Structure 1
Amino acid sequence: MITAAALAGYAVLVGAAVPYALAGARWAHRAPTVAVLAWQGLMLTFVVATALSVYHLVLVEQHVHEGLVGLLTACGLAADAQPVNSPASLADVGLLMAPLTVLALPFGWLAWTAWQAGRERRRHADLLSVIGSDASEHGVTVVEHEAPAVYCLPGRARRIVVTRGALERLTEEQLQAALEHEKAHIRGRHHLAQVATKAFARAFPGLPLARHAHQQTALLLEMIADDRALRLHSRDALATAMCEVAAGRAPRTALGAGGSGALIRLRRILTPQDRPRRLTWIGVLVASVAAPFLPLLVACGPV
């Protein structure tokens, strides 16, 4: 029972307390790539800790065939194991399904969300093939719409979309800065991180970690793309382009230059800050990778 309680406490800490601290961390906006990894690590940690907690509670602590190994032995699935006196019952198998459900829930939502997002992107790509026209000089698809907007459609049907209003309002330098922002989204496959956080939010609605991970990851991905654009273009050009296209709406499955948290990003672009100390982001990096393994160390200890 001590192990189950420790794992449950760890899951509560990761799912309800740590997200508030990470969301308010000052270093996150200065090292957005590391912060995205931290959110992904927290989500994986929560799933692992919760599944192991349920496993210890319903299997080990209840001594159902001496835990998972005993149950697999009774089913004839464990190699080089001594047979148990009684075969596994349907109730035992039902208990085994409890921790497996904790694992299957987020991964099931991940598969469904990825399929749904891919279908919506394909539909939008088909629509663009009808209403859009190729602009070879910029390598984009132009849509005749007066509202200025620049966004990318990731995935297999990847393309960058620019409205006629954006072409008329943006200077060449501003347009190139916005396009570089969208190219960064495509090259970095940022839509995969968005799909993961969206699926996690669907699997665990109401969980602070799910809410903050979804919101913060969307903002951090935009900051990552901003930083890539700033390698080639001026801050004024990118900031002005952001202001011009901020009102333009992108499809749900697309990533737009206006994007999430435009005001926060605009302030960040115009008032740059130094990256956090190397010791800080290395520590966060190591903690993000190690956090999912801590529940395994607790679970493998003496029961």
Structure 2
Amino acid sequence: MLLTGGLLAILAVLLADPVPRLLSRARWVEREPVAALVLWQAVGLAAGLSLLGAGLELAFHDHGTSLPGAVGTVLGNIADGRPLRGWGAARLVVLVLTVALGLRLFWTLVRSIARAGAARRQQHDALDILATPWPVEPGVLVLDHPTAVAYCLPGAVPRLVVSRGTLDALTDTELRLVLAHERAHLRLRHDVVVLPFVAWGAALPFLNSVRRAQRAVAALVEMMADDAAAVTVDERAALRTALCRLGGPTANQAVALRSARLDRPAETRPGIRRAAHAAAAGLLLLPTLLVLVPAF
């Protein structure tokens, strides 16, 4: 179990920095944003599994040849009234730290979900007061503000919101594509996709890899919504123009990247997609097998 714990620790370190850094710099992600998002999710989940698995393997290594068997041994000792049998101070510290980390990650995720829900309800209430239904498009609310903005708000009754400035700045085609982009966010539940990465950022704010993952995932869901909204070359060009008008002169690097991407014809790379999916599956299987199979 010591060797297994060491291997899991090495895997956790690799997934904590080198792998996210390389993935964030990869150029193929613009061609296959869905596959890239799947891979990012696998990296995050596998890193957590590896880190927690390493801690448990190192803590339980004197109780058996595999983690499930060692846990069974410890439970048997507890049932016999000897809960501390076979434990040393160092291994108890490792166990406590591992359990504390797991609880922190779980609690941060729960808290992030609760906070997102509360913020969403507040925004819904504010929109009921400040926005008015747009008679041209059912389900769209209009804010009477000159700044051009457009966004969606998930929930039991999702909202599409545009400002008066957006209606003035965009043509009918551009506005249709912007609304299709926001509807894609709602349909694909991108709010749920990004939430685990928000929770990771709250739990481990000191890790550059977590912040890198948050930025990358945020960009990928926007690319996915762009692809869902604009299918033809002409639509991609119109959506690119809409992005530039909405972004204005202070458009950030993410908007500039999306604009440049929309300026090129959509291309898919089936080979890269299959490789990314295989890598994601391998990342999830490896720590699981290391923990469950007493091969080491």
Alignment of 1:172-187 (within 5 A): 172-187=172-187
Aligned counterpart for 2:72 among listed residues 69, 72, 79: 69
> Is 2:271 the partner of 1:294?
no
Aligned partners of 2:235 and 2:288: how far apart in 1?
A: 47
Q: Give the CA deviation at 1:202.
A: 1.5
Aligned partners of 2:285 and 2:103: how far apart in 1?
A: 19
In structure 1, the residue matched to 2:137 is 138
Q: Indicate the larger mover: 25-34 or 291-300.
A: 291-300
Q: 1:157 to 1:273 in 2, by over 3 A?
A: closer
Contact persistence 1:60–1:68 (CA under 8 A): no
Structure 2: runs of 5+ lacking an equivalent: none
In structure 1, the residue matched to 2:163 is 163
Aligned partners of 1:247 and 1:191: how far apart in 2?
A: 25
> What is the identity, as a one-letter code, of the residue corresponding to 1:235?
R
Q: Give the CA deviation at 1:223.
A: 0.3
Aligned partners of 1:167 and 1:291: how far apart in 2?
A: 46
> Is 2:252 the partner of 1:280?
no
What SS does structure 2 have at the residue aligned with 1:261? helix
Q: Indicate the larger mover: 161-170 or 259-268.
A: 259-268
Q: Indicate the larger mover: 99-108 or 43-52.
A: 99-108
In structure 1, the residue matched to 2:107 is 108
Aligned counterpart for 2:258 among listed residues 251, 262, 265: 265
Alignment of 1:1-303 (within 5 A): 1-61=2-62, 67-76=70-79, 86-88=82-84, 96-139=95-138, 140-231=140-231, 234-247=235-248, 261-272=254-265, 274-276=267-269, 278-299=270-291, 300-303=293-296
Aligned partners of 1:194 and 1:3: how far apart in 2?
A: 31
Q: Indicate the larger mover: 8-17 or 89-98.
A: 89-98
Q: Give the CA deviation at 1:27.
A: 1.1
Q: Give the CA deviation at 1:74.
A: 2.5
Aligned length: 286
> What is the identity, as a one-letter code, of the residue corresponding to 1:109?
T
Alpha-carbon RMSD: 2.6
Aligned partners of 2:214 and 2:180: how far apart in 1?
A: 24
Q: Indicate the larger mover: 177-186 or 289-298.
A: 289-298
Contact persistence 1:121–1:157 (CA under 8 A): no
> What is the identity, as a one-letter code, of the residue corresponding to 1:71?
V
What SS does structure 2 have at the residue aligned with 1:271? coil
Q: Give the CA deviation at 1:201.
A: 1.4
Aligned partners of 1:30 and 1:70: how far apart in 2?
A: 50
Contact persistence 1:150–1:161 (CA under 8 A): yes
> What is the identity, as a one-letter code, of the residue corresponding to 2:224?
I
> What is the identity, as a one-letter code, of the residue corresponding to 2:114?
W
Contact persistence 2:55–2:95 (CA under 8 A): no
Aligned partners of 2:174 and 2:132: how far apart in 1?
A: 21
What SS does structure 2 have at the residue aligned with 1:301? coil
Q: 1:168 to 1:49 in 2, by over 3 A?
A: same
> What is the identity, as a one-letter code, of the residue corresponding to 1:221?
V
Structure 1: runs of 5+ lacking an equivalent: 77-82, 250-257
Q: Give the CA deviation at 1:20.
A: 1.1
Q: Indicate the larger mover: 176-185 or 66-75.
A: 66-75
Q: Give the CA deviation at 1:21.
A: 1.1
Give the TM-score, by structure 2 length: 0.88
In structure 2, the residue matched to 1:254 is none
Q: Indicate the larger mover: 164-173 or 201-210.
A: 201-210
Aligned partners of 2:203 and 2:253: how far apart in 1?
A: 23
Aligned partners of 2:57 and 2:119: how far apart in 1?
A: 41
Q: Give the CA deviation at 1:71.
A: 1.5
Q: Give the CA deviation at 1:93.
A: 7.6
Q: 1:292 to 1:105 in 2, by over 3 A?
A: farther
Aligned partners of 1:161 and 1:245: how far apart in 2?
A: 13
Aligned partners of 2:13 and 2:278: how far apart in 1?
A: 21
Q: 1:101 to 1:45 in 2, by over 3 A?
A: same
Q: Deviations over 1:210-239 (max 9, x none)?
A: 122100000000000000111276122111
Q: Deviations over 1:105-152 (max 9, x none)?
A: 222211111110111111011001001100132121000000011111
